Structure 1
Amino acid sequence: MRIKLKGFITAILIFSAAYLSAQNAAGVNGGLSRGESLFKENNAKDAVQVLEYEIMNGQISDNSYNFLGLGYYQLGEYDKSLDAFRRGLKVQPDNKKILSYNMGNTYYALKDYTSAITAYSDAMNAEPSFYEALLNRANALLMAGQLNSAKDDYIDFVGKCPDDPQRERIELLIQALEEEIARREEEARLLAEQNKAKWEEYDGNLAEKKNENGRPDWEEVDAGLENTRKNPDDPEWEKIHSENPGAVADNSNKQKIDDTNKDYGSEFDWEKLEHENEQSVSAVEEVVSDDEDWLTFSDAELNEMKKLEEESREEHEKWLENERRRAHELATREALEKQKEQEQSLENERRLREQLIEEMRKVDEDRRKAEDDRRKKLLEDVANSLQGTDSTNLTSGAEDLIEYDLEGELD
């Protein structure tokens, strides 16, 4: 019986010692796990190893993933930090506010400002009154070059946190952003007007050269050739091939009669004129011998002569058409060559003008870029000084501010 009682007393003592040890540990560490305690002791290297082990064994608290991500962040292992925050968001969606905020800070450190903006917005969606995320999002917007949106967020932050210790600096930054936005807009407007004026002058010169003659050269060539296609009043074949002297004689007599009518009026003695013509014909018949009577042809001979006349006329027309076509081709070729030379000259002038404009634009752009970079660096330095990164107690980054003469520099 004594042995049993002794064993029972021993068990009670052991249990009491274990309970007191646990109570002492809880009092010292405030209920934190070993990994969380190491992180609080600024031992990030050991903290991440212990936290990974605790998470793997299911010992997960509300801050396990947050401290794990922050530990990797302090070690500069940003990819592992982002992975820890993502894992936390899957397992602990209710902790979205702090996990998204710290994820945004990690993206900001990686200079992935677009992703940082998204993460800060997620944190604000989880808690709209989370104004530290609003300030950091304004900083990320400024770093991303979205000056108008950054200005709006800074104004919103000052309106919602009027007692913030950084208010005066933020108001100076807002003023600087307004002036910078106005300066860039005015510069862009002047540059657009300058480029427009240059191109209008260039296009005007081209228009003048194109309209010197009123219309392209090839139209003038076609117009000239069109005139040559008209049949002449006296076709060449009629002058050359006059094998029908009878017809010519008849026409001559008719002309004589017409002239006579004009000279003598309607009372002309037609019988006398006919008698004179008979006498002249008789005289001609006496001169011409019977062997040389060329005025008498058979029907076959007349048909043959008519056929020869038609063939000769067709050949002559073909020859004239070939000549017209050769003249047209030559004139067209010359016009095209001239037009090509003009186009090449205009193209060379256009390229030269574009080159000059590009050179002037590059000089202006380099000068403007250097000035923009200088002013952007000033704004970014101020944004970085405002960036809150102490996410263990969620301060807004008011500590260790870098002093800049912001107003004087940007003026």
Structure 2
Amino acid sequence: MKYKLRFTVFFVFFLSLMAVLFADSFTEAEDAFRANKMSEAIVLFEKHLQEPNPNPLSYNFLGLAYYQRDDKKKALDVFLRGTEKPLTDKRLLYYNAGNIAFSMGLYTDAERYFGLAKSADPQFASALINRANTRVKLAKLLLAIEDYQAYLVLEPLSQQRAKIEQMIALLENELENQISAEERRVIEEARIKEEQERLAEKEKEDALRRQKLMEEIAASLQNTESANLRAGTDGVMEYDYEFELD
């Protein structure tokens, strides 16, 4: 409890320090953001980021502003750009990048960003469950199960526990079905291969029988023709035809 209290006090102090160090143009941009003037906020945050020492929080605000304007590509670019800067909240930036990538159908990228968010903060349960959901989309069922289970370890009292446990059960059942289907596929492929080999062997035997039959018939015909040939002159018919050339 003391640890959490100290962390909270430090975080509040950190934000207060940020506000003092990066006032003026950042404050103006933040005010526009909180007033839901996203177009104005985007211009002001972009301008602020061109300054020598911009407020690290600007990347998250600017990314969210672009997202509110439905410009997901720019939002993703800003979040990722922010991860390369000093003093920025890598955990939150990667998490938001993961959510944007997921909404764009970039599931492989989303999986990686959620993983990086969790690496920045191993206790970040939200990144874990979002990565689990992403892995379901990628059909990485076993890894998804592991993430859901790890989430429940971090958040044992989660209000979503029943649904998560239901999802785990469904995924485990699906894995069993896939294994059974794979076994059936292997058995069927073996049966088909065996049948093809049997048919090929039968065709080979039939071809040999046909060849043998043709040879026997050919030999028989050869003997019959030879019997009609004579070496002497007995029985030779004579003809008295005269052939004249006019």
Q: Of 77, 85, 89, which residue of structure 2 is paired with 1:95?
A: 89
| 2:137 is the counterpart of 1:133 | no
- Tell me: CA distance 1:96–1:56, structure 2 relative to 1, closer, same or farther (3 Å): same
Query: What is the CA-CA distance between 1:171 and the residue it aligns to?
Result: 0.6
Aligned position for 1:77: 71
Distance 1:125 1:118 in 2: 10
Distance 1:40 1:196 in 2: 65
Q: Of 145, 148, 159, which residue of structure 1 is paired with 2:142?
A: 148
- Tell me: CA distance 1:203–1:93, structure 2 relative to 1, closer, same or farther (3 Å): farther
* Counterpart amino acid of residue 45 in structure 1: S
* Counterpart amino acid of residue 208 in structure 1: K
Q: Of 120, 143, 147, which residue of structure 1 is paired with 2:114?
A: 120
* Counterpart amino acid of residue 102 in structure 1: N
Indicate the structure (1 or 2) with the bigger Cα radius of gyration.
1
* Counterpart amino acid of residue 116 in structure 2: D
| 2:42 is the counterpart of 1:48 | yes
Asked if the contact 2:56–2:88 (Cα under 8 Å) also holds between the matched residues in 1, the reply is no
Q: Of 155, 159, 173, which residue of structure 2 is paired with 1:179?
A: 173
Give the percent of matched residue pairs that are identical in Structure 1 and Structure 2: 30
Higher relative contact order (CA 8 A, sep 6+): 1
* Counterpart amino acid of residue 99 in structure 2: N
Written as runs of structure 1 = structure 2, the 5 A alignment for 1:320-399 is none
Q: C-alpha root-mean-square deviation of aligned residues, in Å? A: 2.9
Distance 1:46 1:131 in 2: 34
> Alignment partner of 2:185: what SS?
helix
Distance 2:89 2:197 in 1: 63
* Counterpart amino acid of residue 63 in structure 1: L
> Alignment partner of 1:62: what SS?
coil
Distance 1:188 1:129 in 2: 37
| 2:200 is the counterpart of 1:206 | yes
- Tell me: CA distance 1:216–1:93, structure 2 relative to 1, closer, same or farther (3 Å): farther
Query: What is the CA-CA distance between 1:86 and the residue it aligns to?
Result: 2.4
Aligned position for 1:238: none
> Alignment partner of 1:51: what SS?
helix
Distance 2:88 2:58 in 1: 14
- Tell me: CA distance 1:137–1:93, structure 2 relative to 1, closer, same or farther (3 Å): farther
| 2:25 is the counterpart of 1:36 | no
- Tell me: CA distance 1:216–1:130, structure 2 relative to 1, closer, same or farther (3 Å): farther
* Counterpart amino acid of residue 154 in structure 1: Y
TM-score, scaled to structure 1: 0.44
Query: What is the CA-CA distance between 1:214 and the residue it aligns to?
Result: 6.7
* Counterpart amino acid of residue 61 in structure 1: N
Asked if the contact 2:133–2:144 (Cα under 8 Å) also holds between the matched residues in 1, the reply is yes
- Tell me: CA distance 1:213–1:45, structure 2 relative to 1, closer, same or farther (3 Å): closer
* Counterpart amino acid of residue 192 in structure 1: V
**Corresponding pairs, count:** 198
Q: Of 179, 183, 189, which residue of structure 2 is paired with 1:189?
A: 183
TM-score, scaled to structure 2: 0.71
Distance 1:94 1:77 in 2: 22
Distance 1:175 1:108 in 2: 24
Q: Of 99, 102, 116, which residue of structure 2 is paired with 1:108?
A: 102
- Tell me: CA distance 1:94–1:208, structure 2 relative to 1, closer, same or farther (3 Å): same
Asked if the contact 2:57–2:88 (Cα under 8 Å) also holds between the matched residues in 1, the reply is no
Aligned position for 1:57: 51
Structure 1: runs of 5 or more not aligned: 1-25, 226-411
